[in-house]
Structure 1
Amino acid sequence: MTPRFFGYGSLVNAATHSYPDARPARLGGWRRVWRHTSLRPAVFLSVEEAEGSAIHGLTADVPGADWTALDIREGAYRRHKVSVTELPGETQIQAQVYAVPEDDEIAGLRHPILLSYLDAVVQGFVRVFGEDGAAGFFETTAGWDIPVRDDRDAPIYPRAQLLETREREIVDHHLRALGCEIIEGEVPIGKATAPAP
């Protein structure tokens, strides 16, 4: 049987990868969280176990069980075996999910979210799960009390996508609703920004 992964962020956007047989899915008992490490001057989207929570995403095949390319793409992450529910048939399967180790997080470090990355993630959710699915992404992700670096005009994220007008409006709407601070310019590694009030 071909192994599968569960993607919950940029991997939901099929334009950012070529893994076959992508299917909508739900992972129960986990939530998304932004993790701050010393590996780069931007925060990582990760997951952690959270009783009573569930997140949507995509599963896809890893042909030949060759995890090498995906492990390189997700270099800051470690794989975990999980039970996932594929939709709409509610089929239970085993998959792997990538998570940044909690021990790698540095207390007090507050890197920004790259808007080019967030755009790609939300575009994936809109195209797979609709606008309600995009809203669900924001609702099931913890740690929005950090700045968002606006790099849309010169994307830093290597798999940045061009958004349609409505997709951009959805991203901007949710960031405003969350009260996120939008910044321009680089925040160097190791520089902590003040928490939102």
Structure 2
Amino acid sequence: MSDPFFFGYGSLVNRQTHDYLRAATASVTGWRRAWRHTPLRDVSFLTVVPAPEDYVDGLIAAVPGADWAALDQRERAYDRHDATHQVSHDLEHALDVAIYAIPDGFHRKPEADNPVLLSYVDTVVQGFLTEFGPEGAAHFFETTEGWDAPVLDDRATPIYPRATKVSAEERAVVDEALGRLRVQIKRE
């Protein structure tokens, strides 16, 4: 039996944030990416919500030996769902694939007291730029709901625990997109 895979649609798209080496780009239908807040965390973060007509690009990666413990701990605010029949990929064989999502009824739209972290956005977009290029990063912004959420500029001292070092060019992509979306940036 082959290893199961997870589908990452946020920071898990950035290979610098995890050690799952067998990975490939993919997409999942029936879901839409959204910024949400849950009482389990102080800040808002990405989840997927059911959306029959939508799809999300991301990264699938193998979970060696089906050892989900570390990933389940990392994604502790989420439930793991079977997405096997919703995922499209270019690998040569069929895969069992799971996706993480905050359970219905346990999240709400972000507010001023639980902003999105800019270091988190930077990390996610860096992953999309690496895996999908500029068009993929633009698609990330276009297909994610909740950009009316406040974004806390924590770049100087990242709060996001898996923040990656991003280049000036990557920051410029993020800043331009957030400006175009008229996102409210809060300074620390």
2:157 maps to 1:154: yes
**Aligned residue number for residue 63 of structure 2:** 62
The structure 2 residue matched to 1:141, chosen from 144, 155, 158, is 144
**Aligned residue number for residue 169 of structure 1:** 172
Shift of the 169–45 alpha-carbon distance from structure 1 to 2, 3 Å rule, reads same
Alignment of 1:83-102 (within 5 A): 83=85, 84-87=87-90, 93-102=95-104
Offset at 1:94? Answer: 3.0
The structure 1 residue matched to 2:181, chosen from 178, 182, 190, is 178
What is the identity, as a one-letter code, of the residue corresponding to 1:115? L
Offset at 1:109? Answer: 4.7
The aligned length equals 184
**Aligned residue number for residue 117 of structure 1:** 120
Alignment of 1:36-47 (within 5 A): 36-47=37-48
**Aligned residue number for residue 25 of structure 2:** 24
- After superposition, the C-alpha distances for 1:29-62 in whole angstroms (9 at most, x for unaligned) are 1110111112222102000111211110000010
TM-score (norm 2): 0.92
- Report sequence identity in percent: 51
For the Cα contact (< 8 Å) 1:8–1:55, is it kept in 2? yes
What is the identity, as a one-letter code, of the residue corresponding to 2:146? G
What is the identity, as a one-letter code, of the residue corresponding to 2:73? I
What is the identity, as a one-letter code, of the residue corresponding to 1:17? H
Q: Residue 95 of structure 2 aligns to a residue in which SS?
A: strand
For the Cα contact (< 8 Å) 2:110–2:149, is it kept in 1? no
5+ long unaligned stretches in structure 2: none
Shift of the 92–55 alpha-carbon distance from structure 1 to 2, 3 Å rule, reads farther
Offset at 1:184? Answer: 1.9
**Aligned residue number for residue 194 of structure 1:** none
**1: CA distance between counterparts of 2:95 and 2:80?**
16
For the Cα contact (< 8 Å) 2:109–2:146, is it kept in 1? no
**1: CA distance between counterparts of 2:181 and 2:102?**
24
For the Cα contact (< 8 Å) 1:85–1:93, is it kept in 2? no
Shift of the 108–8 alpha-carbon distance from structure 1 to 2, 3 Å rule, reads closer
**1: CA distance between counterparts of 2:32 and 2:107?**
16
**Aligned residue number for residue 191 of structure 1:** none
Moved over 4 A (4+): 89-92, 106-110
**Aligned residue number for residue 52 of structure 1:** 53
RMSD of aligned Cα (Å): 1.6
Q: Residue 25 of structure 1 aligns to a residue in which SS?
A: strand
**Aligned residue number for residue 190 of structure 1:** none
